[in-house]
Amino acid sequence: MSATLERVSTMDGNAIAARIDELAQLSDDPGCLTRLTLSPSHKKAAALIGEWMRTAGMHVRVDAAGNVVGRYEAEKPDASKVIIASHIDTVRNAGRFDGNLGVITGIAVVGELNRQGRRLPFAIEVVAFSDEEGVRFSSTLSGSRAVAGVFDAACLDDRDSDGVSRRQALLGFGTDPSKIAEAACNPANTLAYLEVHIEQGPVLEARNLPLGIVTAINGATRGEVVVKGEAGHSGTLPMAMRRDAMTAAAEMILAIEAHARTGADIVATVGRVEIPNGAVNIVPGQVRFSLDVRSSSDDARSRAVADIQQEIARIAAARNVSAQFTATYDMPVTTCDANVIKAMSRAFVQNACEPFMLGSGAGHDGMSFRGRIPVGMIFARCRSGISHNPAEFASPADMGAAARVLFDLLLDTGAFA
Ligand code: HGY
Ligand code: MN
Ligand code: MN
């Protein structure tokens, strides 16, 4: 049992669970948890997170990308730092653990250091990223990309479904998007990026393990397909004369599923379908649908995206419609740092946890730090692997274990050499 266990009881899972529940009340939808980036509920969540950070002994600021940054100073000034982060924006009708757990656990660990009056050889910055899910705007990871120093200013012109640009939303949130470059960390004095996250998959539960060590984060391609046929009267247009964009899209979507089923290491999803100006009595003239392709192999993913585009073109030609795929996001595999993984394994063993390693099918903010800062992730077991769903659940015991492992990782002097 870790020597620090009894001293870190304030990080017990019930305290973390209580904060998860409190944060989950902040939603833009009264019936479920929906906290899109830069929304009114995100603003309230940022304020609450800032309060918790201050109580944990951190100086708090909100950067130009809308991230809440809590800083816990090192034993000496001008020391390097370790980032502990995750996101507080959610998908629609979300689970309450995705993202939020990592921020709350980071605050809990710093709170325990502060309670013990302990300072480490490095500073700690706990960051609540503003936009990991990429639901409100088409591009994603904008918060962590700003901190990683790889922010793409073009995304400031992304517009949401109400036509509001990211730039306007940031100004409305009270930040100055023209200063986003100032949010970037300096890789020369940033020792590691650490994140605790629910697994969002079934592997740990199947092995009856509370925690896991992430080896890599799968690469992902996101985009949109626009299918154009010809709108017509549903009552008068003979079937043989139709150029129905919806039935063409339906055939394409089933072809995408069939293709992904053939690949051992490919998942492909169409999560959103829209018929602009659709109506019950109109043969759809245009359909837009999203595409999300993931793999642990970048080659397999780019081959799958190319094959899927060919299938879409074949079906479009056969149905005399047009189809255009536009990629809005393309992130390669992010391999976690071997030294951090080794130190994590030591912290797992110290806490009587098997140091089980697994890949992440889900994307995470750590992808933004790829190739710039060593990335390490700890997964917490997720009931039935359910996520992006209100039924998402992690137990207080598992969340407490994650906090203790993270705490011991920070105390491991060899972790961030
Ligand atoms: O899409 C993802 O994998 C993450 O949940 N944003
Ligand atoms: Mn997440
Ligand atoms: Mn998510």
Counting ligands in written order, which one lies closest to the CA of residue 197?
2
**pLDDT-based confidence at residue 8 (cuts at 50, 70, 90):** very low
The full set of domain ranges for the chain reads: 3-218+333-411, 219-331
Please state the atom number of ligand 1 nearest to the C-alpha of residue 200.
Answer: 5
Mean pLDDT score of the chain: 95
Residue 293 Cα, ligand 3 centroid: separation in angstroms?
Answer: 15
CA of 389 to the centre of ligand 2 (A): 12
Q: Which atom of ligand 1 is nearest to the CA of 361?
A: 3
d(CA 253, CA 336): 33
Residue 256 pLDDT level (bands cut at 50, 70, 90): very high
Evaluate whether 344 touches 353 at the Cβ level (below 8 Å): no
- Taking only the tens place, the pLDDT of each residue in 57-111 is 999 999 999 999 999 999 999 999 999 999 999 999 999 999 999 999 999 999 9
CA of 90 to the centre of ligand 3 (A): 6
- Work out the pLDDT band at 196, boundaries 50, 70, 90: very high
Start-to-end C-alpha separation, the chain: 25
Alpha-carbon Rg for the chain in angstroms: 23
Q: Which atom of ligand 1 is nearest to the CA of 294?
A: 3
What are the pLDDT digits (tens) for 166-177?
999 999 999 999
Asked if residue 103 lies in contact with residue 44, where contact means CB atoms within 8 angstroms, the answer is no
Tell me the fold of 3-218+333-411.
Aminopeptidase (3.40.630)
Q: Is the CB of 362 under 6 A from ligand 1?
A: yes
User: Would you say the CB of residue 133 lies under 6 angstroms from ligand 1?
Assistant: yes
Q: What is the DSSP letter of 233?
A: E
Range 219-331 classified under CATH 3.30.70.360: yes
Percent of the chain having pLDDT more than 90? 94
Smallest-distance ligand from the CA of 91: 3
Residue 242 above 80 pLDDT? yes
Q: Kindly identify the ligand whose nearest atom is closest to the C-alpha of 141.
A: 1
For ligand 1, atom 1: residue with the closest CA: 363
